[in-house]
Amino acid sequence: MILKGTVVWAPEPARLEVSEASYLVADGAAVRGVYRELPAELAGEPVEDWGDALIVPAFVDAHVHAPQYLNAGIGMDEELLPWLERRTFPLEARFADAAFASRAYRAFLRELWRQGTLRFVAFGTVHAPATWELMRLADAAGFTALVGKVNMDRNAPASLAEDPARSLGETEELALRAREELAHVGFIATPRFVPSTTDRLMDGLGALVEKYGLPVQSHVDENRSEIELVASLHPKSESYAHVYEEHGLMPRARTILAHGVWLKPSEIDLLRRREVLVAHCPQSNANLTSGVMPLTRTLDAGVACAVASDVAGGSNLGLPAHMACAVRASKLRRVRDESERALGLAEALYLATKAPGSFAGFADPSGSFEPGYRADVLVIESARTRELDELLGRTPAERLERFVYSGESADIAARYAGGERMPEPFAQEGSGA
Ligand SMILES: [Zn+2]
């Protein structure tokens, strides 16, 4: 793959790299480099010339609930725990129907593609067949992903409450099957959150994590009523985050915990030591009246973070909306406390590309144009943006900023996954478009 255009990426949190009239070159699935002049040995190779269009890394969503895409934008007048009971659990129960699940997951993957998210880490439901269908479809469509079957055996409606032994058996089976049959989609252990999982189920999952070297995803310190519930269920644990560690569910550098809105100093310490990736979901945190997470303070304390959608707590699958929301949330915190710094555009891009893309649970890193990173790429240009640029010239950084704050999926002209043009998934089945 050789693409020519205005190449923009964030190799470090506060550094936007801009290379105009340049070539992005991939050997197979991996980036070889960005060049102002094409290396001599590549002369004569086909070049896709995108003029001065922006060429950026594709987005990576570190925390999304695939079944809940059908609820995106619905039920936003509820807080977390009633929202789970009234909105989320009834929807997830529908995924016992494999045909329904297959249609829903195709719609989810098409929308991810439209929005330029080509790598993701997702919760499925408790249903193993439906979760396998999501994994299989994502792999076939060309995404790279980590997907988990949800485990829950307490505080769940009868339609979703699992028998722990069966839950563990199905989890192990899916993890092994993914290894044998899928090229680009892996399994991630997915206890829903502490209130949903008994000690017995968490211990069993911890043993599977150790046995197979699995990554783990869950939630932590999202909402105050949820934190009170965890404290009442685990009075002897030092904190919410420590419950995961005590059960072997915090493997070093292979754990993603969503939210961390209300982390205590001892939890910040623990997450830093275990190299946990915190998925910051500012839109969801506002929608469910959870709080405003101190993102820059958490980053500056040495905890790795990413910006994620948390659909359907978040209402949009597209990550630009969440990047803008993360910047706004950091500014609102700064209004209350001037010692907190606001997030900038380059760092927001980093948190939606390289930070989640290089999570060690993936087989290869993505989200940057450094050599060896997976060549997942978006070309950003449309008739709309061209007209604006003709009226008033803009720098590449301004054009990126405009896309993040007020762009739309129609502004993405092309998507490449692993160095190959990625067509719309399942397009021939009709997307209603
Ligand atoms: Zn979530």
**Residue 103 falls inside a structural domain:** yes
Residue 66 CA to ligand 1 centre (angstroms): 10
CATH number of the domain encompassing residue 125: 3.20.20.140
**Residue 380 falls inside a structural domain:** yes
Residue 388 CA to ligand 1 centre (angstroms): 37
Domain boundary among 337, 357, 377: 357
pLDDT at 433: 42
Q: Are residues 311 and 380 in the same domain?
A: no
Residue 207 CA to ligand 1 centre (angstroms): 23
pLDDT at 427: 84
Domain boundary among 357, 388, 414: 357
Q: Are residues 100 and 148 in the same domain?
A: yes
Residue 48 CA to ligand 1 centre (angstroms): 39
Owning domain of residue 17 = 2-58+367-424
Residue 279 CA to ligand 1 centre (angstroms): 9
Residue 220 CA to ligand 1 centre (angstroms): 9
CA–CA distance, 244 with 262 (Å, rounded to integer): 16
The residue whose two tokens read 């405009």 is: 402
Q: Calculate ∠ Cα 163-257-143, nearest 5°.
A: 85
**Residue 376 falls inside a structural domain:** yes
Q: Are residues 10 and 114 in the same domain?
A: no
Residue 219 CA to ligand 1 centre (angstroms): 6
CA distances from 409 to 132, 387, 398, 404, 413 (A): 28, 17, 18, 11, 9
**Residue 412 falls inside a structural domain:** yes
Residue 334 CA to ligand 1 centre (angstroms): 25
Q: Which of 178, 58, 66 is nearest to 118 (CA)?
A: 58
Burial code of 357-393, b = ≥16 C-beta within 10 A, e = fewer? bbbebbeebbbbbeeebbbbbbbbbbeebeeeeeeee
Residue 112 CA to ligand 1 centre (angstroms): 17
Residue 82 CA to ligand 1 centre (angstroms): 15
Residue 64 CA to ligand 1 centre (angstroms): 6
Residue 118 CA to ligand 1 centre (angstroms): 19
**Residue 278 falls inside a structural domain:** yes
Rg of the chain, C-alpha, whole Å: 21
Residue 192 CA to ligand 1 centre (angstroms): 8
Residue 18 CA to ligand 1 centre (angstroms): 34
Residue 65 CA to ligand 1 centre (angstroms): 6
Q: Are residues 378 and 420 in the same domain?
A: yes
**Residue 305 falls inside a structural domain:** yes
Strand partners, 304: 277
pLDDT at 14: 87
Q: Which of 245, 240, 180, 258 is nearest to 212 (CA)?
A: 180
Residue 150 CA to ligand 1 centre (angstroms): 11
Domain boundary among 307, 334, 357: 357
Q: Are residues 173 and 36 in the same domain?
A: no
Q: In what order do the strands lie in the sheet with 304-307?
A: 216-220, 255-259, 277-280, 304-307
Q: Which of 81, 271, 298 is nearest to 195 (CA)?
A: 81
Domain count, the chain: 2
**Residue 330 falls inside a structural domain:** yes
**Residue 386 falls inside a structural domain:** yes
Q: Are residues 289 and 343 in the same domain?
A: yes
Residues 6+ apart with CB under 8 A from 40: none
Q: Are residues 331 and 379 in the same domain?
A: no
Residue 109 CA to ligand 1 centre (angstroms): 18
Residue 108 has which token pair?
């989810």
Q: What is the DSSP string of 81-131?
A: HHHIIIIIHHHHHGGGSHHHHHHHHHHHHHHHHHHTEEEEEEE--S-HHHH
pLDDT at 97: 98
Residue 312 CA to ligand 1 centre (angstroms): 8
Q: Are residues 205 and 132 in the same domain?
A: yes
Residue 80 CA to ligand 1 centre (angstroms): 10
Q: Are residues 94 and 131 in the same domain?
A: yes
- Tally the residues of the chain: 433
Residue 80 has which token pair?
């977390």
pLDDT at 430: 52
**List of the chain residues with pLDDT < 50:** 431-433
Q: Are residues 26 and 67 in the same domain?
A: no
CA–CA distance, 351 with 347 (Å, rounded to integer): 6
Q: Are residues 69 and 213 in the same domain?
A: yes
Q: Are residues 188 and 313 in the same domain?
A: yes
Residue 208 CA to ligand 1 centre (angstroms): 22
Residue 359 CA to ligand 1 centre (angstroms): 17
